């Protein structure tokens, strides 16, 4: 296998961010593993294709812990504190066990009325606009996702504008100093938030995480609480914002699918799964580092803390796994996609993201009978970077109606 750089993602244009799939497909046609350069300037190994990605997601030689990263990598850490995205077994198992008690199906189900109430409140405001035009990201997907996770964690007074800016900079900026500065600002904010929760605990998830212990008396350390707060807040709204925005965009660009869903809203759960597959809100995984040489699809990645990225977006468009993968089909059989990962790092908040997407899209179609895109698709701008994928704005218009 050649080790020269197959793609420089720091030099790619807006067209790549709008539609990265042809680039990934071209790489996949050549093999499952490629040497690439990420926007931060570091060289990495990119894994493409469904089977190769599934294998990499469960390979124990690919560590999520930054202690295994090569010191030569010019990277800024993507999160604060210790959390599920920066730990391996057995630490990961311990952390997930402590947190999973707060993400039971019953608890998620109990959130459904509040999610629908907030959705309707946001749509009331949006539909009151006399020009019948709005940016759906600003009007619905962002305030819904941020509002839900803020209430769940018990931080309704969260400075949402500041936190949104920090999260976008930390996750998407190619500038290392900007990423470090944003992460530091978020960390300070979260330290203060956790401190306040310790002094005045309430009936919310963050207070529960501070109090929770397992049968052996284990509990989250102060650093782990900060890490969990970061993980739940950032991933809790970023992925959901982009799932809703990209999903609605896919429906608007496929009017026959939109009509089918309007005609039968019982298809909504299936539709959400197709939205996740078709335009995964997480394009590539958070960083993994080699602890020893790793063979994937006949290609060997060296050990020694090499950076590895797994292209979830490409796995979900692999024709070897999905028939006509570039076709958006809300009746496609559910299951198989890796939008939420696979293995021990499968997204803990997946049920909450699905609930919000299903609720938002259902309410939107019920209350906006003439919804349509208010811009040319090629004029939409998309999030930069390789981690989070979604349109920055989604201009829509609608006709009046009940």
Q: How many CA atoms lie within 13 A of 86 on its CB side?
A: 17
Mean pLDDT value of segment 284-293: 95
Mean pLDDT value of segment 215-231: 76
CATH of the domain at 266: 1.10.630.10
In sequence order, the β-bridge partners of residue 299 are 296
Question: Residue 117, exposed/middle/buried by CB under 10 A (0-12, 13-18, 19+)?
Answer: exposed
Mean pLDDT value of segment 147-167: 81
The yes-or-no verdict on residue 59 having pLDDT over 60 is yes
* Structure confidence at residue 217 as a pLDDT band (50, 70, 90): low
Sign of the alpha-carbon dihedral angle for 363, 365, 366, 368: positive
How is residue 81 written in tokens? 């504190």
Query: How many domains are there within the chain?
Result: 1
pLDDT at 81: 66
Q: Does 15 map to a domain?
A: yes
The yes-or-no verdict on residue 2 having pLDDT over 80 is no
359 Cβ contact list (under 8 Å, min separation 6):
112, 115, 116, 119
The yes-or-no verdict on residue 402 having pLDDT over 90 is no
Mean pLDDT value of segment 116-132: 97
3-class secondary-structure state, position 124? helix
Mean pLDDT value of segment 211-215: 58
Q: Does 80 map to a domain?
A: yes
pLDDT at 154: 82
What is the average pLDDT score of the chain?
A: 89
How far the first Cα of the chain sits from its last, in Å, is 60
How much is the pTM?
0.91
pLDDT at 234: 78
The yes-or-no verdict on residue 369 having pLDDT over 70 is yes
* Structure confidence at residue 268 as a pLDDT band (50, 70, 90): very high
Residue 80 belongs to domain spanning:
7-397
Q: What percent of the chain has pLDDT over 90?
A: 56
Left (φ > 0), alpha (ψ -120 to 50) or beta: where does 291 sit?
alpha
Quote the CA–CA distance of 192 and 96 in Å, as a whole number: 24
Q: Does 2 map to a domain?
A: no
Query: Do residues 99 and 228 lie in contact, with contact meaning Cβ atoms separated by under 8 Å?
Result: yes
Taking only the tens place, the pLDDT of each residue in 44-56 is: 999 999 999 999 9
pLDDT at 76: 67
Q: Does 1 map to a domain?
A: no
Taking only the tens place, the pLDDT of each residue in 65-87 is: 989 999 888 876 766 667 787 88
pLDDT at 205: 82
* Structure confidence at residue 330 as a pLDDT band (50, 70, 90): very high
Q: What percent of the chain has pLDDT over 70?
A: 95
Closest CA to 76 of 11, 6, 172: 172
- Least confident range from 61-65, 212-216, 299-303, 332-336: namely 212-216
The yes-or-no verdict on residue 158 having pLDDT over 80 is no
Taking only the tens place, the pLDDT of each residue in 8-30 is: 998 888 899 999 999 999 999 99
Q: Does 386 map to a domain?
A: yes
Most confident of 61-75, 198-212, 276-290: 276-290
Q: Does 197 map to a domain?
A: yes
Q: Does 402 map to a domain?
A: no
Q: Greater confidence, 216 or 310?
A: 310
pLDDT at 99: 78
Helix and strand numbers (H, E) in the chain are: 16, 11
Quote the CA–CA distance of 239 and 234 in Å, as a whole number: 8
pLDDT at 214: 46
Q: In what order do the strands lie in the sheet with 372-373?
A: 133-135, 395-397, 372-373
Mean pLDDT value of segment 322-343: 94
The yes-or-no verdict on residue 400 having pLDDT over 60 is yes
Q: Does 271 map to a domain?
A: yes
The yes-or-no verdict on residue 237 having pLDDT over 90 is no
Q: Greater confidence, 287 or 167?
A: 287
The yes-or-no verdict on residue 62 having pLDDT over 60 is yes
């Amino acid at each position: 296998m050649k080790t020269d750089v197959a793609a420089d993602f720091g030099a790619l244009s807006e067209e790549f961010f709008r539609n990265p799939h042809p680039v990934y497909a071209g790489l996949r046609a050549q093999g499952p593993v490629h040497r690439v350069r990420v926007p931060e300037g570091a060289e990495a190994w990119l894994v493409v294709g469904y089977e190769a990605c599934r294998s990499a997601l469960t390979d124990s030689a690919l560590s999520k812990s930054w202690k295994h990263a090569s010191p030569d990598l010019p990277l800024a850490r993507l999160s604060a504190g210790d959390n599920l995205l920066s730990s391996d077994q057995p630490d990961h198992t311990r952390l997930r066990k402590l947190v999973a008690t707060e993400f039971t199906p019953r608890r998620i189900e109990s959130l459904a009325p509040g999610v629908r109430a907030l959705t309707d409140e946001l749509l009331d405001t949006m539909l009151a606009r006399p020009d019948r035009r709005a940016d759906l990201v600003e009007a619905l997907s962002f305030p819904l996702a941020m509002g839900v996770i803020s209430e769940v964690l018990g931080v309704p007074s969260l400075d949402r504008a500041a936190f949104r800016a920090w999260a976008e900079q930390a996750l998407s900026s190619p500038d290392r100093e900007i990423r470090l500065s944003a992460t530091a600002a978020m960390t300070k904010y979260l330290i203060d938030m956790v401190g306040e929760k310790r002094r005045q605990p309430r009936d919310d998830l963050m207070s529960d995480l501070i109090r929770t212990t397992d049968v052996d008396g284990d509990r989250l350390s102060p650093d782990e609480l900060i890490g969990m707060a970061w993980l739940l807040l950032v991933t809790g709204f970023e992925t959901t914002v982009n799932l809703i925005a990209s999903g609605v965009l896919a429906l608007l660009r496929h009017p026959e699918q939109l009509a089918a869903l309007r005609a039968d809203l019982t298809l909504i759960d299936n539709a959400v799964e197709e939205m996740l597959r078709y335009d995964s809100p997480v394009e590539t995984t958070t960083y993994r580092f080699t602890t020893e040489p790793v063979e994937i699809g006949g290609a060997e990645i060296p050990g020694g803390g090499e950076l590895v990225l797994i292209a979830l977006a490409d796995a979900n468009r692999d024709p070897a796994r999905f028939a006509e993968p570039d076709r958006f089909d809300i009746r496609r059989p559910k299951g198989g996609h890796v939008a939420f990962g696979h293995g021990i790092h499968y997204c803990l908040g997946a049920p909450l993201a699905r609930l919000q997407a299903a609720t938002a899209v259902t309410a939107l179609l019920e209350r906006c009978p003439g919804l349509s895109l208010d811009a040319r698709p090629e004029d939409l701008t998309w999030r930069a970077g390789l981690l989070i994928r979604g349109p920055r704005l989604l201009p829509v218009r609608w006709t009046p109606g009940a």
